[in-house]
Amino acid sequence: MKILIEREPLMASIQNVMKAISSKTTIPILSGIKLEANDQGVKLTGSNSDITIESIIPKEEDGVINIHEIIPGQIVVQAKFLPEIIKKLPNNQVEIDVDDDLNLKIKSGHAEFKLNGQDAEEYPQLPMLQTENSFDLQIDLLKMLIRQTNFAVSVSETRPILTGVHLKLEENLLELVATDSHRLASRKISMNDAEELFFNNVVIPGKSLSELNKILDETQDTIQISVTDNQILFRTKNVYFLSRLLDGNYPETSRLIPNQSKTVVKVNSKELIESIDRASLLAKDNRNNIVKLVTKGQNTLQITSNSPEIGHVEETLETDSIDGEELKISFNAKYMIDALRAIDSDKVSINFTGAMRPFVIRPEEDDEQILQLITPVRTY
């Protein structure tokens, strides 16, 4: 095998597949990157048992030549040193040469590295995904869906199923839900051409989605999503991202969302974030990062936080409107800030149903597509 390749696309591909490579793998060969060269281009593969990423560098793309010379072949090379080596090479072109004894030579300008390779035949065969369950999304939309939900997955393994994002598609409506059992993030989008598609209880590990999000560029290109019983594949032109799905039944979450409210607050989102952020300066030290919100007259909210050993902070915030019953409620400031940032709307509407019940935050333009739910903290 021999290739003469542009350094930049090679570097980008290496960084993509590195997202799947874990230094703590139990299968030694998975600590390496597989390089495969054929007449069309070069494919890199990285994998741990949960995620597999393939990144393709086409020989030529949009009139730009990536690879100048190809002699087909394949090799597995230790991933640990490769990114740094490629990054620091002196020239913009890199020559990679593999001999019959699995020795890898990397040449660029006057620099030459010799690395020991491993036989690519020993690299596990990736499962071929056979499914009819495929649909397309725009990449920037997918990235937004991930950003708006994935932060709410559980980081604790007490209920493993909650460490993933639940994906559901029915009647042309795609819904993503994540909850750590203290807060819940939900985002729906309408699909145009998925009438025949239907699936439920697809739970993607939160970690997979955050890696996927890092690899994907903010573009309007489409990504194809294919779902099977235990795996999900995201496929763009040059990237295959395969993730294991979580086992188990995702809890029914629609019943958790209150359908009535006793107090409705409409408020500028940015002002609320800033105010909560200030209040939480003192609250960070206490265990639940608690801030307290109290409705006052003249459409104002009082936001306070108290850390007995540090001090007290109090501020008032003017809202657009407060309707319904008076309310005093305490909650984790971080949950509120996460939720408001995810909604990313100028004005939000917060619907409370009492100090001990979860409250719902939505964008004020009555848009049913995104919803953030937060359970309060009970103080004594």
Partner 1 sequence: MSKKGRIIYHVDMNSFYASVEMAYRPELKGKPVAIAGNPEERRGIVVTSSYEARAKGVKTTMPLWQAYSHCPSLIVLKPNFDRYREASRHMFSILSEITPYVQPVSIDEGYMDVTDYVNEENPIQVAENIQKRILNELDLPCSIGIAPNKFLAKMASDMKKPMGITVLRKREIKHKLWILPIEEMYGVGEKTADKLKKIDIETIGDLATKDVLTLKNLLGINGERLHQRANGIDDRPVDPDAVHEFKSIGNSTTLPYDMTNQTEIFKVLNQLSEKVAARMERKDVVAENIQLMIRYYDRKTITRSKQLNEFIETKDEISNIAKRLFQQHWNEDPVRLLGVTAQHLTPREEMAKQLDLFNYEKEAEKEELYVAMDQIKEKYGKDAFIKLKDTKAKMSTSFQKDFLSEFRENKKGKS
The residues that touch partner 1, with contacts defined as CB under 8 A, are 179, 181-184, 251, 256, 286-288, 290, 308, 328, 330, 332, 354-358, 373, 375-380
The distance of closest approach from Cβ of residue 149 to partner 1 in the complex, given in angstroms and rounded to an integer, is 15
The Cβ-side half-sphere exposure at 163, using a 13 Å CA radius, reads 14
- Beta-ladder partners of 115: 104
Dihedral, 345, 177, 145, 55 alpha carbons, nearest 10: 160
As a whole number of angstroms, the distance between CA 97 and CA 177 comes to 47
The smaller minimum CB distance to partner 1, of residues 232 and 355, is found at: 355
The distance of closest approach from Cβ of residue 329 to partner 1 in the complex, given in angstroms and rounded to an integer, is 11
The distance of closest approach from Cβ of residue 369 to partner 1 in the complex, given in angstroms and rounded to an integer, is 21
The smaller minimum CB distance to partner 1, of residues 118 and 375, is found at: 375
The distance of closest approach from Cβ of residue 19 to partner 1 in the complex, given in angstroms and rounded to an integer, is 31
As a whole number of angstroms, the distance between CA 41 and CA 71 comes to 10
Q: How far is CA 351 from CA 53, 257, 265, 368, in A?
A: 42, 11, 7, 13
The distance of closest approach from Cβ of residue 287 to partner 1 in the complex, given in angstroms and rounded to an integer, is 7
User: With 0-12 CB in 10 A as exposed, 13-18 as middle and 19+ as buried, what is 301?
Assistant: buried
The smaller minimum CB distance to partner 1, of residues 123 and 151, is found at: 151
The smaller minimum CB distance to partner 1, of residues 9 and 358, is found at: 358
The smaller minimum CB distance to partner 1, of residues 51 and 279, is found at: 279
As a whole number of angstroms, the distance between CA 79 and CA 34 comes to 9
The distance of closest approach from Cβ of residue 314 to partner 1 in the complex, given in angstroms and rounded to an integer, is 16
First to last CA, the chain: 70
The smaller minimum CB distance to partner 1, of residues 123 and 331, is found at: 331
